[in-house]
Amino acid sequence: MANDEIVLSIEGLTKVYRSLFTPIGIKAVDNLNLSVYRGETYSIVGPNGSGKTTTLKIILGLIYPTAGTATIFGKGIADLSVRERIGFLPEDAYLYDVFNGEELIDFYAGLFGFSKRRRRELTDELLSLVGMQANRKVPFRECSKGMRQRLALAQALVNDPEMLILDEPTSGLDPAGRHQMTELILELKRRGKTILLCSHFLAEVEEVCDRVGIMYRGRLVSEGSLKELAGEPDEIVITTEGLDSGKAVEIAALAAVRNVDDGVVRLGKESAGDLWSTLEAINRAGGRVVEVLRPRPTLQDVFVRAIRQDAEETVEEVQ
């Protein structure tokens, strides 16, 4: 889906928060460089305080960078034409709480100068898309968290944006709400939208994103597609049944086997050539092979690895 056209380009972006009490400043974003291509879904992941939201705020022109630039469609965010082409879903869905969905969509659509008729059409379309048609008259403050998030997504879509910026779209949602939101994001992806998503729900990121940037302490410590980041599977996992503890110890003693735990036999990737002999050994020991897998590391694994590596490098630099 993605092509070579860069939609969002960030170069050397740095943000230092200074105050009377911290004259040296706190570096929230540190020399960040990244590009998002048309049609791709890019996710910035990172723990709380890693600089994700600060980066989004700079991209949206809500705060100003200390150094570096961010351009969308080749133009600075101060250019109003950029904001005609993007949509933003803020974290925790901050919308006017005294209005209902219908009124909110009408208001936000009005900011794009749409006629009354077009605003009415948009309200119907978007409330249907996000599944809020039946609750269109419910005031925002009386909406559940999931309904609020869906309304916030609807307001981000009023201008049929080419690029969507989503800040923690599933934050605070229950599993059902998270599933609904993920389905909506996938639907928008299918429609060809370029999506920049900030999240710390790695499962959701794994499900919807083409590329991931891992941010930690304001820096992009790792970036790439999930496949690139995960690398080759580094073990073979054999799930067995009927392997008693004595036999399990015998299997664990095989040179190719890393460990055996609760009937799950793990081989290092370097022992792939010994797979058949291991399966035969399990068979001889009276075990039954249920499943053989070469699982890729999950985003969670990649994330933890990247952060740990960055922390170790920082310690080395300090030393």
Token output for 314: 């920082």
Closest by CA position to 162, among listed 110, 216, 235, 88 = 88
**Which three-class secondary structure state does DSSP give residue 220?**
strand
φ and ψ at 231, to 5 degrees?
75, -170
Q: How many C-beta atoms surround the C-beta of residue 151 within 10 A?
A: 27
Alpha helical stretches, state H, 135-244: 145-156, 175-190, 202-208, 226-230
CA dist 242 and 263 (Å) reads 8
Q: Residues near 58 by Cβ (< 8 Å), separated by ≥ 6?
A: 13, 15, 29, 64, 65, 70
C-beta of 129: minimal distance to other proteins in Å? 17
* Nearest residue (CB) to other proteins, 159 versus 240: 159
* Nearest residue (CB) to other proteins, 94 versus 174: 94
* Contacting positions for other proteins (CB under 8 A): 57, 60-64, 80-81, 83-84, 86-88, 90, 92, 94-99, 103, 107-108, 110-113, 152, 155-156, 159, 165
**Which three-class secondary structure state does DSSP give residue 114?**
coil
C-beta of 242: minimal distance to other proteins in Å? 58
* Nearest residue (CB) to other proteins, 122 versus 260: 122
CA dist 180 and 210 (Å) reads 19
Interior angle at CA 97, CA 106 and CA 129, nearest 5: 45
* Nearest residue (CB) to other proteins, 154 versus 202: 154
Length of the chain: 319
C-beta of 115: minimal distance to other proteins in Å? 11
* Nearest residue (CB) to other proteins, 5 versus 97: 97
C-beta of 57: minimal distance to other proteins in Å? 8
* Nearest residue (CB) to other proteins, 2 versus 63: 63
C-beta of 154: minimal distance to other proteins in Å? 11
C-beta of 18: minimal distance to other proteins in Å? 11
